[in-house]
Structure 1
Amino acid sequence: MADFDKHPVYGGDAVAVEPQHVYNSDVHFVDEHERKDLARGLKQRHVQMIAIAGAIGTGLFLGLGGSIATGGPLGALLGYGFVGIIVCAIQFALGEVSALFPVTGSFVRHAEILIDPAVGFAVGWNLVYGNWMSVPSEISAGVVLIQYWNTSVNPAVWVTILIVVSVLVAIIFVGVYGEVEFFFAILKILLVIGVVIMGLVIDLGGVPGQQRLGFHYWKNPGPFVEYIGTGAWGQFLGFWAVMSNAVYSFAGVESLAMAAAETQNPRRNIPKACKRVFLRVTLFYVVAILIVGMLVSSADPRLDNDSGTAAQSPFVIAASDAGIKAIPSIVNAVVLTSAWSSSNQAILAGTRTLYGLAVKGHAPKFLLWTTPYGIPFMCVAVQMAFSFLAYMCVSNDALNVFWWLVDLTAAGTLVSWITVAWNHIRLIQALKKQGIPATKLPWHNSWTFYGSWFALVSCIIILFTGGFAVFTAGNWSPSDFVSSYLDIPLVLVAFGGYKLIRRTKWVNLSDIPLAQALEEAQSDPENVPVVKERWWERWNFLW
């Protein structure tokens, strides 16, 4: 048996491995293209705030109203809380695997190493497709928000402006992109804190002329809403119908590891961000939906407003009812930056996944072309070409287009989360098979194996039941069916086709090169302990 030296960063005894599994210096998990062509311009605060910026978007500011109307205040709260627990498990699983394999493309590349190259191919292209849908989705949402002020200008004008600005941000140095997203994330967080405080003031009767509401709307019309069915069954269906919107709202938290090769000290900073992001995002959503459920009745017809403006936002409704005239426009303005920021996050995730596919030969090699500043500009060009789908809102109501793309994006997000959980389960199984303690990983938590199983099963159930309403009497809709379930056959066809053509095999647990990965992690010159926080930094609850 061969012994590694005691590692100063990880600590503990070294892992003993058989000679045939010793580090192969000719093969690296982080590809040469990533080492040479990409710039490590993202700091830990950038990575964490990019994930927060991606998750706090139109799903929070526009989608909560629909969730309250469908599930009621308690049904929506339970739905978002349940998905928040799933996100917790996903984030910890992602952090553990990414600390060992900090590669561009994150869980897509992890699937090739841990499961089957065909899975990596199918999920990678599914993720690229999902981000292709996310960008026009957020742009459509931006048009919805702009139309709150002005409906006389053709929506195509706003779509064009948003696309052009997005392209400019996407092709600049990644560090500048990080600072832009950092700023907008701070803006969004301040808005959430602001509307929560505003909501508490309104609810407790702090606005002159407004009576105290308390939990009035939880009593009348009630904590749950009957959806499709009646009684307890209808209330459960209302709760379950919230799931797709909740998943869409949380979409983006898994993207923080996508640009691992462009992140400083990724083996330390990515797990640190994973650990903190889920708690902050879940807290924001749970508190926000609790406040909204206290301020707006689930029976309020404005929550189902189909005018195509941001008047549907429950925050705008609450402020308007309280007679606070300035708040609706302020909220609308910040939410507009929120939509654009979420679009930028989708561009980052989509382009880096596409770059990772090109690195592994799953996409054309011209996609590896980068600018002198390390930006994969050809990936950006392809990504932005699909943003033109946002022009659908010119001939269709912008809000309708937004909701179509919400369902498409939610299904793709669930496939990504399933892959993250599956990767982690395979990693732990491989460690056990090869006799390597899980504590030897750069970052590990004892409960995460069980959390990954919970997340895996939950995501599969939500994926297959997300569009259940179309199968009930009188609710059949071809467009809703396609948007809810199109993703499933796309992934299966991509997986089956690639496996048939390339004749790939499932990776044997004994063949997963864990010893080499641990050796590479220990030999990484950038893998140094994070500088100890100074006393005032410990009170920083954001990053």
Structure 2
Amino acid sequence: MRHLQLIAISGAIGSSVFLSIGKPLTGGPLALLLGVSLWSTVIWGISNCLVEMCTLFPVEGGFIYYATRFLDPSMGFSLGWNYFICQVSLICGEFTSMNVLIAYWAPDLTPAVVIAVGLALLVAVQVFNVRIYGETEFWISILKIFMIFGAFLFTFIVMVGGNPKHDKYGFRFWKDPGPFAGVTGVDAAQNVWRAIQWAAYGIVGPDYISLVAGEVQHPRRVLPKAFNSTIYRILGFYVGGAFFAGLNAPANDPSLLGASGAAKSPYIINMNRLGIPYLPSILTAGLLISLFSSTSSMAFAASRTLYCMGLEGHAPKIVTRTNKHGLPYVCVLVVLALGCLSFMALGSGSATVLSWFINLTAATQMITWIAVAASYIRFRAGMKAQGLTNSFLPARGYFQPWSAWWALFWSPIALIFSGYYFFAPGTFAVADFLFTYMAVFIFVVLCIGWKVRNVIKFQESWFGIEATEMDFKTGIPELEEMTVQAEEDWQNNPQTKLDKVVNRIF
């Protein structure tokens, strides 16, 4: 249980809550808080969808498998590739963020050095030390928790006067330049929308839990608790992060608007403003460890996603090759090779390339949320058509089916209008447009292409899976037997006091 919870936390706390959050903060602290809070409800809705499907069918592949089983095989195929692109773009984005952080200490250091070192370390972890990957991520995740709550505690202490200048600034930045950075009306609404766009990139949902559901030893005991705790991670890390970031720097701070590197972090801006020594460097070092940990998690997820697609015939057969330890080394090498796209920062600059990967990641994640919500709605339609009631489900999500419809309403809107500013006179840029909408084009082309292929081979129809024909039986007897055995093992193995404390926390 502790590993499952902290793997989800490890993926949740990256550079976004400390570094890239400075960009939406330029729209004002209240705009940032409102945008993040609104999108958090969408992610919670996604969690409410997955808890029902994952506890009924705890299988490897998670939401990709559900799209194939309840929506359409072609959707599952294209969703798998979409998620692979998402993880690769996150890897490239994190490598670019590492260069942005290193620039705080060595602004003249070429990005090539940072990215090359990062890739070399990633090879070492993914190829040579993969057996200790899980335990390493567990302890680094604990470090991340201390970092974020330490940042919150720091904010509270310094805002009430606990700083070298004894400046009791409190909510000063909410008053000047104001909650919406001194603007009203349409401009204020645009600031909120920009915060929503950042949240679509920065808020990592319960997808990691879904992907590893098939490897959980006591899935119907552990998974509901893991999914239901999503709301606390969202409130603690993202809504809390948005609130405290807005207390650390004004929206019109010159460093926030014009600086590059770690100097754009609201926390480091405040530390430098108050003349606090050492802490900026300590936070930057902690962020580098956090970023590398997140990158390692994404490389692991990307390589295993590609490997699973190879086993299903959705990727070239060569990617299924493994070494004598079972490591899918071809997949790892492919992911690391694609990580070299980070070297684009040499030509266009780290800040520009980071914004490209943020846009690409946000698009792929919104496609994922659309597919999850649609899969769940079809899942419930299948249950209804076959006379299955809620008692058939091992766990229930909150406010269903309204949670699914809420996510399905907002995700397409956020995706379609994510690049609305491109179409203003004189603002269109080809690179920005491609990185914002390229994922949509790839998803549609893959989906249509795979559909045509399967129809030609008589492997599926044009109209997807009928509700009356959905499979709610395959795997259920085995899962029921496994659940009974797991419960017996749980009851027969008495827990120590430490186990009870860990289980209560996680």
Bin the TM-score by the shorter chain: over 0.9
Corresponding residue for 1:245? 198
Moved more, 511-520 or 309-318: 511-520
How many residues get paired? 495
Residues 231-267 of structure 1, C-alpha deviations (whole Å, 9 max, x = no match)? 3111001100112211111136412222334443344
User: Counterpart of 1:242 in 2: which secondary structure?
Assistant: helix
Question: What's the offset of the Cα at 1:356?
Answer: 2.2
Say whether the 8 Å CA contact 1:305–1:311 is kept in structure 2: no
Say whether the 8 Å CA contact 1:470–1:477 is kept in structure 2: yes
Corresponding residue for 2:211? 258
Question: What's the offset of the Cα at 1:295?
Answer: 2.2
User: Counterpart of 1:166 in 2: which secondary structure?
Assistant: helix
Q: Percent identity between the aligned chains?
A: 32
Is 1:288 aligned with 2:233?
Answer: no
Say whether the 8 Å CA contact 1:351–1:380 is kept in structure 2: yes
Corresponding residue for 1:31? none
Question: What's the offset of the Cα at 1:149?
Answer: 1.0
User: Counterpart of 2:381 in 1: which secondary structure?
Assistant: helix
Q: Give matches, 1:86-125, under 5 Å.
A: 86-125=42-81
CA distance in 1, matches of 2:422, 2:234: 31
Residues 502-525 of structure 1, C-alpha deviations (whole Å, 9 max, x = no match)? 113301111111133432321336
* Counterpart code for 2:132: V
CA distance in 1, matches of 2:88, 2:291: 15
Moved more, 74-83 or 376-385: 376-385
Corresponding residue for 1:312? 264
Residues 367 and 383 of structure 1, relative CA distance in 2, 3 Å threshold = same
Q: Give matches, 1:139-178, under 5 Å.
A: 139-171=95-127, 176-178=132-134
* Counterpart code for 2:299: I
Residues 325 and 371 of structure 1, relative CA distance in 2, 3 Å threshold = same
Residues 527 and 163 of structure 1, relative CA distance in 2, 3 Å threshold = farther
CA distance in 1, matches of 2:389, 2:141: 38
Is 1:300 aligned with 2:253?
Answer: yes
User: Counterpart of 1:515 in 2: which secondary structure?
Assistant: coil
Is 1:277 aligned with 2:230?
Answer: yes
Residues 354 and 100 of structure 1, relative CA distance in 2, 3 Å threshold = farther
Residues 208 and 140 of structure 1, relative CA distance in 2, 3 Å threshold = closer
Corresponding residue for 2:409? 457
Corresponding residue for 2:16? 59
Is 1:513 aligned with 2:471?
Answer: yes
CA distance in 1, matches of 2:495, 2:420: 49
Say whether the 8 Å CA contact 2:322–2:328 is kept in structure 1: yes
Q: Give matches, 1:302-381, under 5 Å.
A: 302-307=255-260, 309-381=261-333
* Counterpart code for 1:196: F
User: Counterpart of 1:444 in 2: which secondary structure?
Assistant: coil
Residues 280 and 510 of structure 1, relative CA distance in 2, 3 Å threshold = same
* Counterpart code for 1:189: I
Moved more, 421-430 or 331-340: 421-430
Residues 527 and 177 of structure 1, relative CA distance in 2, 3 Å threshold = farther
Residues 316 and 257 of structure 1, relative CA distance in 2, 3 Å threshold = same
Corresponding residue for 1:136? 92
CA distance in 2, matches of 1:114, 1:388: 36
Say whether the 8 Å CA contact 2:319–2:328 is kept in structure 1: yes
Aligned mate of 2:422, from 464, 470, 491 = 470
Question: What's the offset of the Cα at 1:95?
Answer: 2.4
CA distance in 2, matches of 1:103, 1:357: 14
Residues 466-495 of structure 1, C-alpha deviations (whole Å, 9 max, x = no match)? 111112234322222222111111111111
Moved more, 101-110 or 522-531: 522-531
The gaps in structure 1 that reach 5 residues or longer are: 1-43
Corresponding residue for 1:220? 176
Aligned mate of 2:340, from 351, 367, 388 = 388
Question: What's the offset of the Cα at 1:540?
Answer: 6.7
Q: CA RMSD in A?
A: 2.2
Say whether the 8 Å CA contact 2:93–2:357 is kept in structure 1: yes
* Counterpart code for 2:23: G
Say whether the 8 Å CA contact 2:17–2:237 is kept in structure 1: no
User: Counterpart of 1:466 in 2: which secondary structure?
Assistant: helix
Is 1:46 aligned with 2:3?
Answer: yes
- Which has a greater percent of helix? 2
Corresponding residue for 1:18? none
Say whether the 8 Å CA contact 1:104–1:353 is kept in structure 2: no
Question: What's the offset of the Cα at 1:542?
Answer: 5.1
Corresponding residue for 1:74? 30
Residues 526 and 157 of structure 1, relative CA distance in 2, 3 Å threshold = farther
Moved more, 390-399 or 123-132: 390-399
CA distance in 2, matches of 1:72, 1:214: 16
CA distance in 2, matches of 1:450, 1:528: 33
Say whether the 8 Å CA contact 1:430–1:510 is kept in structure 2: yes
User: Counterpart of 1:486 in 2: which secondary structure?
Assistant: helix
Residues 435-479 of structure 1, C-alpha deviations (whole Å, 9 max, x = no match)? 111222222235232111111111111011111111223432222
Q: Give matches, 1:17-28, under 5 Å.
A: none
Corresponding residue for 1:493? 445
* Counterpart code for 1:299: N
Residues 40-62 of structure 1, C-alpha deviations (whole Å, 9 max, x = no match)? xxxx2222211211111111111
Is 1:410 aligned with 2:362?
Answer: yes
Residues 399-452 of structure 1, C-alpha deviations (whole Å, 9 max, x = no match)? 221111000001001111111222222212211111111222222235232111
User: Counterpart of 1:445 in 2: which secondary structure?
Assistant: coil
Residues 541 and 246 of structure 1, relative CA distance in 2, 3 Å threshold = farther
CA distance in 2, matches of 1:534, 1:232: 58
The gaps in structure 2 that reach 5 residues or longer are: none
Moved more, 80-89 or 256-265: 256-265
Residues 214 and 527 of structure 1, relative CA distance in 2, 3 Å threshold = farther
Residues 258-313 of structure 1, C-alpha deviations (whole Å, 9 max, x = no match)? 23344433444333322213422332221222122122101112112343x21111
User: Counterpart of 1:180 in 2: which secondary structure?
Assistant: helix
Say whether the 8 Å CA contact 1:104–1:355 is kept in structure 2: no
Question: What's the offset of the Cα at 1:389?
Answer: 0.6
